[in-house]
Structure 1
Amino acid sequence: MKDKPSFLLVTGCRRSGTTFLGNLVGTLSNSSYVEEPFNKLRGLKTIPDVWYPYLTDEIVNKELKRDLNRFFELKKIPFRHSINNNDTGYLDCNTTVGKVILDVFKNQSGEPLLKRILRVVLKNHHYLSYTKTRYKSNLNYAVIKDALIALSTPYIADNYNVKTVFIYRNPEAYFYSMVKQNWYIELTDFQKQNQLLKDYPFVKNLVEEEHTKDNRVINEWIIVNKFLLEIYKKHDVICISQEELAKKPIEQMEKLCAKLGINSNELDYDKIKKMTTASTVNPKNIKNVNRNSIETLKSWKGKLTEQQQHMIKQKTESILSELETIKL
């Protein structure tokens, strides 16, 4: 009988290095990488329709429980279909197979024909990454990279045999990266999760603030990182600094392996070097794996206004200080 693989979960706030760390962990021998199963646009069909869903025993219904059980058994489960819609400029998510097939002929998305045909069966790269993991032979490590699972990590830890690593980023660097990409989520995604507000009153206070764009951006960092700080005290999770990882990737990965009980000889050092010392980067690829990791630490310097810097420091200084005390 085939041994079950170890599940390694990499999470943290968006734009904080989860993809970078996930791919580094994915250099372990006989590992496979699963992309954002909790993504409400492309992930599991039964995941709640919010960014950063908060799961508890009371919230998880029978269908979601079934799919999560099957996920951690690497069995077949339904993922969402999605189509890039040229008319709206947005993604049509959780759409039907029929609409995807219709898009092959209408080409609302403007995608190449082959890519549209593949969407009928392969759905999206999130589903494909899970499918490849399911069928990988001699699988020792299933590496789940998902920032959006962050608020569900206590539930996952209590119900499944998963080792969790969360990565945090300097809040000013995070803020610049989000603003540069014009990314933010509506804080109502937190506000309408009543159990979350009840269990973590600080979230309720933050989402009731004025919803300026700057507030929406930095409050996402605060909610996710403060939440992860609180669960760190109750669950066996590992905290890693994006800045330290960028400066000393091999040293940090060896420390992480020691903490996870994994022999660091299982790391692919050549791949790690390639991922962290690349001389050229495609700025349009926001999920770029190969980069000069040291250079990424400078990209945000001098790009924020004094007002933004003051606001960020005032709101995040105490959280950042606490994160610094628990990092690898």
Structure 2
Amino acid sequence: MQVDRPILVTGCPRSGTTWTGNVIGAAREVFLIYEPFNDDVGARLRLPERFMRLTDGNSAPHRQEIDDLIALGRLSRRSALAMRGIAERWRPGEKRYTPGWLAFRRLHSQGQDFFGPRRVCIKDPIAFYSSEWLADTYDAQVIVMVRHPCSVIASYLSLGWESEVEAMLPHPVPEGFAGLRDEIEARNGPVQDRLTDLILQWKLFTAETLDLQRRRPDWTYILHDDLCLRPLHYFEAIFAKLGLSFTSDIADKVRRESSGTKNAANGKPVQHRHERDSRSVIDAWQEKLPGEIAERILRETAELWEEAQRRLLT
């Protein structure tokens, strides 16, 4: 196995990509890149669409910047990009070159860890539809996260997030999921409510994931519930498949982040805080969702969720 292969951690937002990416990124040989496809974060690519599906036909305008993101796994290129980041720091008003800014930030804030990484890990649910292009172009190893529909939707509602289904509708529905086409056509009629859109969004992500699993069986597919139940077991298996060393420090990090306090502060949800009892996270939606809403989600997603559990259970 090539030690410099990039890693992509993706899946539906709120499916555990941050936890998984952070644990992988704690490995000394990994340079973690946080959501470069996401136009809501500071260090991002200049992509014209959210949930863009990059292909050989449309990637040319973005290729150099993505090449340099992947090159952050090589010390020589990372050092050169850090110098560019330092130079751009003193040019207020200009759009920073994302790979340069990330290299500079690593050097500035984690200088002792600047020299060790030999590969990058991109953690990004917004890169979901570009995962195949990233795998084919850069020989990336891909991890796709899947989570219980009630957990995903409860998290969206708790954080006050709207659905992103509008950005997903241009992508074709995978073969074998004709019912989703009917739902999309129905949505194009009368205005839908937020819950309807969140349910449809989860279905589209899950259907696409199952189609990826059919076409890309060599990728790693992780059910968030399984990861929460046996975090040490699954992270050790993930590290083995990626060719990373599962050290005692990594094991301690997993223990801390799966047996601590709940993912909340003053009773309010916190987006990316992971010191929690991971087992309690699995059924937390039962306390967050009113009964009638939970029943509707379970009813409308039952068939797809059962298929996901059957096909992705490891």
Q: 1:197 aligns with which of 149, 157, 172?
A: 172
- Mapped to 2, the partners of 1:132 and 1:172 lie a distance apart of 37
Give the residue type in structure 2 aligned to 1:155.
W
Q: Is the 8 A contact 1:28 1:141 kept in 2?
A: no
**Displacement of 1:163 after TM fit?**
0.5
Q: What's the TM-score, normalizing by structure 2?
A: 0.77
Give the residue type in structure 2 aligned to 1:163.
Q
Question: Hey, which of these two has a bigger chunk of helix by percent?
Answer: 2
Are the structure 2 counterparts of residues 121 and 238 from structure 1 closer, same or farther at C-alpha, using a change threshold of 3 Å? closer
After TM superposition, the structure 1 = structure 2 runs for residues 140-155 of structure 1, keeping only pairs within 5 Å, are 140-155=118-133
Are the structure 2 counterparts of residues 322 and 198 from structure 1 closer, same or farther at C-alpha, using a change threshold of 3 Å? closer
Q: Is the 8 A contact 2:174 2:207 kept in 1?
A: no
- Mapped to 2, the partners of 1:130 and 1:223 lie a distance apart of 35
Structure 1: 5+ residue runs without aligned partners? 80-95, 101-119
1:48 corresponds in structure 2 to 48
The answer to whether structure 1 residue 165 and structure 2 residue 143 are counterparts is: yes
After TM superposition, the structure 1 = structure 2 runs for residues 1-328 of structure 1, keeping only pairs within 5 Å, are 5-42=4-41, 43-50=43-50, 52-60=51-59, 62-74=60-72, 76=81, 97-98=92-93, 129=102, 131-132=104-105, 136-191=114-169, 193=170, 196-197=171-172, 205-210=182-187, 211-235=192-216, 236-265=218-247, 268-279=250-261, 281-282=264-265, 283-324=268-309, 325-328=311-314
Q: Is the 8 A contact 2:5 2:140 kept in 1?
A: yes
Structure 2: 5+ residue runs without aligned partners? 86-90
Give the residue type in structure 2 aligned to 1:300.
W
Give the residue type in structure 2 aligned to 1:143.
C
- Mapped to 2, the partners of 1:301 and 1:311 lie a distance apart of 13
1:117 corresponds in structure 2 to none
**Displacement of 1:130 after TM fit?**
5.5
- Mapped to 1, the partners of 2:271 and 2:173 lie a distance apart of 35
- Mapped to 1, the partners of 2:127 and 2:40 lie a distance apart of 14
Report the more deviating stretch, 267-276 or 300-309. 300-309
**Displacement of 1:262 after TM fit?**
3.6
Are the structure 2 counterparts of residues 174 and 238 from structure 1 closer, same or farther at C-alpha, using a change threshold of 3 Å? same
- Percent identity (aligned): 20
**Displacement of 1:63 after TM fit?**
1.5
**Displacement of 1:291 after TM fit?**
2.2
